[in-house]
Amino acid sequence: MKTRARNEIQVTVIGAGLMGHGIAQVFAAAGHETTLTDADEAVLRAAPGHVAHNLAQMGIEPGPVLERLRLRATLADAVSDAGIVIEAAPERVELKQRLFADIAAAAPRSAILASNTSVIPITRIGEALDPQARARLVGTHWWNPPHLVPLVEVVRTARTSDEVFEDTFDILLAAGKHPVKVQKDVPGFIGNRLQHALWREAISLVHRGVCDARTIDEVVKQSFGMRLPVLGPMENADLVGLELTREVHRILFPDLDDGDTPSPLLAELLDRGHRGMRTGKGLRDWTPGQADAVRERLARHLIAAQASRRTSTN
């Protein structure tokens, strides 16, 4: 059944913050009537302005997209006619569990129920739902910023119906995203497991005094990071050959960080109030201008990559 991917599907996004308004923007830009709600009225009212800014930055006229974006003050009103509901609330298990209980009670019994969690197993989020609702529950892990990063990980649980899993994939594909299928519900899914495996080793190298944080970033950006847009790790392993890959692993793996708790370095920095760019210090030091420059550089890079992607597929 492919009918859910048509433009007339009603989309509701729960949470209008950083991820939520970007997700809503994608669907509205793809022609879907899209409803956005948030428990914080100020966050909800600010969302159209953020969407307009994003679109202007991308060189897209905001008017037609904003016309398809509806704001609703209550969750029940927002989901009453939804064909798919995407939750983009903070990463707290109990909060997401309560939200999905409320969503399942108020939304049509045919609606797809999707969570944008980045690491929490979808099964845990839906463990209190009735069997019919659990069959409609699926993960849709978008990446920040969601209107610019193509990938969405579609995560099935042992209870997710095949129809819901396939329909969710098709809806995202029709909206211009690059969905991938995650066949097992594991913490962090695929992308964050890979990303944080790299971060664990990077932070460990700094903690062990091998190098400073700036050097980590330089090494990644000036070496294998340059290949990643066109050469994934599986392709790279096959390119150099599996014999060499195995020999490198024999030497390297015994010395890699294999800790199952966060690095002590993070605790030390947090205890000193070094929380990242917003406090001016994290693993690296940041002025407000430097932090803004990183955000601007990232946005322009992703916009250019998205334009290139459109050109290559046309």
Task: Name the catalytic one among 32, 50, 141, 147.
Answer: 141
**Residue 141 three-state SS:** strand
DSSP string, 260-306: SS--HHHHHHHHTT--BGGGTBSSSB--HHHHHHHHHHHHHHHHHHH
**Residue 39 three-state SS:** coil
Contact 117, 88 (CB under 8 A): no
Q: Which helix (H) or strand (E) holds 48?
A: helix 41-57
Task: Name the catalytic one among 32, 87, 118, 147.
Answer: 118
Task: Name the catalytic one among 161, 192, 204, 263.
Answer: 192
* Rg for the chain, CA atoms, rounded: 21
Q: What letter represents residue 138's amino acid?
A: V
Contact 20, 88 (CB under 8 A): yes
Q: What letter represents residue 84's amino acid?
A: I
- Which residues, in sequence order, are CB contacts of 217 under 8 Å at separation 6+? 284
**Residue 26 three-state SS:** helix
Active site residue 192: yes
Sign of the Cα pseudo-torsion (68, 74, 77, 80, in order): positive
Candidates 190, 153, 157, 189; CA nearest to 172 is 153
Q: Which helix (H) or strand (E) holds 13?
A: strand 10-14
- Count CB neighbours of 34 within 10 A: 24
- Structure token pair of residue 25: 């923007």
**Residue 104 three-state SS:** helix
Number of H helices, E strands in the chain: 15, 8
Active site residue 249: no
Give the residue numbers marked as catalytic. Answer: 118, 141, 153, 192
